[in-house]
Amino acid sequence: MDGDLPVVSESPFGPDVPVRTGRSFDVPVAGESPFGEPRRSLRKKAGGALAGAGLLAAKFGAYLKGAVLLLPKLKLLTTAGTALVSVAAYSLFWGWQFAAGFVVLLFVHEMGHVIQLRREGIKASTPMFIPFLGAAIFARSLGDNALAEARVGLAGPVLGSLGAAVVAVAAVVTGSDLLLALAYVGFLINLFNLLPVLPLDGGRAMAAMAPWMWFVGFAALIPVAIFFHGSFIIFLILIFGGREVWRRWKLRKTRSLEQAAYYRVAPRHRAMVAAVYLGLIVALALGMAETHILASAGHSFRSL
């Protein structure tokens, strides 16, 4: 049950990733001891080693910077490349067809976020896949205010659920058990991502509805963790989610003008976010129940 991760995707590593440049390393000039004159031999050696390490670090920094600058040009390659690696990884446990379908469903979900981010005027990377953790996109921010954050957050499950629904219809039309199982898992991962805790999509929606729900969602993770037998993903969400909830809550409590402006949402808009959020949960639960029943009933759904 490896969802669209939560984690990376929607950002713990996203906006917070410091991009190190060569300059941020302190590089002693080669041959010049950073320790001064006396007791030359040992210090000179140590200084030389340090200088070497510094140069290496600087080179590595420059290399990293180059790689980061190159990333946008390689984005299709990284999306396709990481998708293939993920399909291969999931194939170790499932058949390759199911693995491929699963990665496509993750892609559709992530593209929901990407499309909405672009509509908000925020540049976003195309999705990258992380085996067993899901998928990630990278963006500078998730919107200028809580309402935009909720729109970006909900766009993933909206498109992702539509994708799973298309697979469900295809399953009924073709009578394919594989597609039916895929649709079920598709509904499940989208529902899972609606848990009202950061950094999941449901937590993004809560920013515009009721941020205190982050704590409810956090508490709800504990029974979920037990249900999934201490899954590594839940563990990551507990750590990153806990950190992010705490950080944002503290920031919010400063009651600065900036924070107040960020969380100001008109009641009409709050109601719209709530309607989409709850509507998605109901639709996904129905979708799961339906595909589950169909699957347990064998092929009898052909007569439906």
Please give the residue ranges that form the binding site for Zn ion (CB under 5 A).
4, 156, 193, 201
Nearest distance, CB of residue 195 and Zn ion, angstroms: 11
Residue nearest Zn ion by beta-carbon distance:
156
Neighbours of 27 (CB within 10 A): 17
Nearest distance, CB of residue 135 and Zn ion, angstroms: 8
Closest to Zn ion by CB, 102 or 171? 102
Closest to Zn ion by CB, 233 or 294? 233
- Quote the CA–CA distance of 222 and 228 in Å, as a whole number: 10
Closest to Zn ion by CB, 179 or 191? 191
Closest to Zn ion by CB, 79 or 193? 193
Nearest distance, CB of residue 103 and Zn ion, angstroms: 15
Nearest distance, CB of residue 27 and Zn ion, angstroms: 41
Nearest distance, CB of residue 59 and Zn ion, angstroms: 37
Neighbours of 278 (CB within 10 A): 13
C-beta separation of 54 from 23 below 8 A: no
Closest to Zn ion by CB, 51 or 205? 205
Among 237, 302, 245, residue whose Cα is nearest residue 7: 237
C-beta separation of 134 from 8 below 8 A: yes
What one-character-per-residue DSSP string does 19-64 give? ---GGGS--PPTT--TT-SSSHHHHHHHHHHHHHHHHHHHHHHHHH
